[in-house]
Amino acid sequence: MIFWTTLLIIHGLMALALLGAITHQTAALWWPVRAPAGSFVTRFRAVPGTSYVTAIIVLYVVTFVLGAWIYTQYRFTARLALEQLRFLKTVGVFELKEHLATIGLILLPAYWAYWRVPLSQEYANARKQVTLLLAVLVWSNFLIGHIANNARGLGS
């Protein structure tokens, strides 16, 4: 049990780092700073988006692999308990998480292609759209993971 708990914590930490990186990049892309950075929010938006690309891809893949591994344990432990307790909405929302994670993973090749340096103006819109969608998926999965963990997680 200690092994799976450790893995879950690492998965959570990776997800947190990914969440920070993708949120930074999305904010900088959709809401770029026009004036010199001053407040915390302005500085948050003032990051160079290209420097985040590799980190986001690596973090996504590592978080995904860890999640897919932990999922094997979840399937016959936590999920069975959730079903017995009739927490069907929690089970359903976790099922959605697996699909959202897969869709996010398959966006990565396009995300990488649109963010290649030098940035192509031709893909400016696609770059914004794919980054935003990826950010929404990462946020959704982070929150769903929390819901599932709160329902039947560590120490339950």
Partner 1 sequence: MTARDRTPIFALAFGIAYAVIYVICTEVNLPLLTYHPVTGEIGPLWQPPKNGPVMYWYGWMVTALIGALVLAWIATAIPEQWLQRMLIFGCAGAAAYLILHTVALFIYDKATVELEFLKSRWLSAAAAVIVSALVSYLLPPQWYKRVWHGWIWVVPLGAISVLAYYLSPYFTR
Which spans of this chain sit near partner 1 (rule: CB under 8 A)? 68, 71-73, 75-76, 79-80, 88-89, 91-93, 95-96, 98-100, 102-103, 106-107, 109-110, 112-114, 116, 123, 125-126, 129-130, 132-133
How near is the Cβ of 48 to partner 1 at its closest, in Å? 21
Mark 130-144 as b/e (b = at least 16 C-beta within 10 Å): bbebbbebbebbbeb
Comparison of 43 and 89: residue with beta carbon closer to partner 1? 89
Comparison of 37 and 81: residue with beta carbon closer to partner 1? 81
In angstroms, the CA 25 to CA 31 distance is 10
How near is the Cβ of 108 to partner 1 at its closest, in Å? 9
In angstroms, the CA 50 to CA 149 distance is 33
How near is the Cβ of 19 to partner 1 at its closest, in Å? 19
Comparison of 9 and 96: residue with beta carbon closer to partner 1? 96
Comparison of 54 and 72: residue with beta carbon closer to partner 1? 72
How near is the Cβ of 137 to partner 1 at its closest, in Å? 8
In angstroms, the CA 149 to CA 22 distance is 23
In order, the DSSP letters of 42-86 are HHHHTS-GGGGHHHHHHHHHHHHHHHHHHHHHHHHTHHHHHHHTT
